[in-house]
Amino acid sequence: MAVTSMIYDDNNIFAKILRGEIPCRKVYEDDHTLAFEDIHPQAPVHTLVIPKGKYVTMADFTAKASDAEIAALMRAVTKVAELKGVVTTGFRILANSLGDSMQEVPHLHIHVFGGKPLGAMLSVPRP
Ligand code: 5GP
């Protein structure tokens, strides 16, 4: 079911990963961010980059996070692209936010896709 609320749920799956309660395949970590492999990859490279703070969406994050947290998340995305070897071949980032985007996990995450031609930007028909 898609996420509809900006109220942070401490029991969401990424909160559990951050607390070390469930494992992940870590790609990168710093003081403010964690990046790990998506459990159901949709491309040869499919890594998730998340802030360690409790933010539901990008709007929530940019409203409440410190400049240091925001800079760290953006830099972590590039770091992941470098680590996964897709900076020169090309990659796509995506962050779903609430219902229309079909966001499933209510902790802000940036998908990093790459490793093959990724096709059209959206797979659904235009309205
Ligand atoms: P969303 O639809 O919210 O933008 O994307 C959520 C992503 O989280 C999906 O791509 C899904 O495969 C991934 N995911 C869901 N549960 C887990 C999990 O337990 N571990 C990892 N590594 N990824 C997960």
pLDDT digit of tens for each residue in the chain (127 aa)? 788 878 999 999 999 999 999 999 999 999 999 999 999 999 999 999 999 999 999 999 999 999 999 999 999 999 999 999 999 999 999 999 999 999 999 999 999 999 999 998 887 666 6
CB 22 within 8 A of CB 16: yes
Centroid of ligand 1 to alpha carbon of 105 (angstroms): 7
Residue 56's pLDDT is 98
Pocket residues: Cβ below 6 A from ligand 1: 13, 24, 36-40, 96, 102-105
Q: How far is CA 32 from CA 29, 66, 92, 121, in A?
A: 8, 10, 22, 29
Both tokens of residue 63?
């409203």
30 Cβ neighbours under 8 A, 6+ residues apart: 72, 76
Which residue in the list 32, 46, 107, 109 is annotated as catalytic? 109
Q: Give the count of beta carbons closer than 10 Å to the beta carbon of residue 90.
A: 13
Which residue's entry shows tokens 């802030």?
Answer: 51
Q: Which amino acid is at 56?
A: V
SS3 state of residue 113: strand
Q: What is the CATH number of domain 24-114?
A: 3.30.428.10
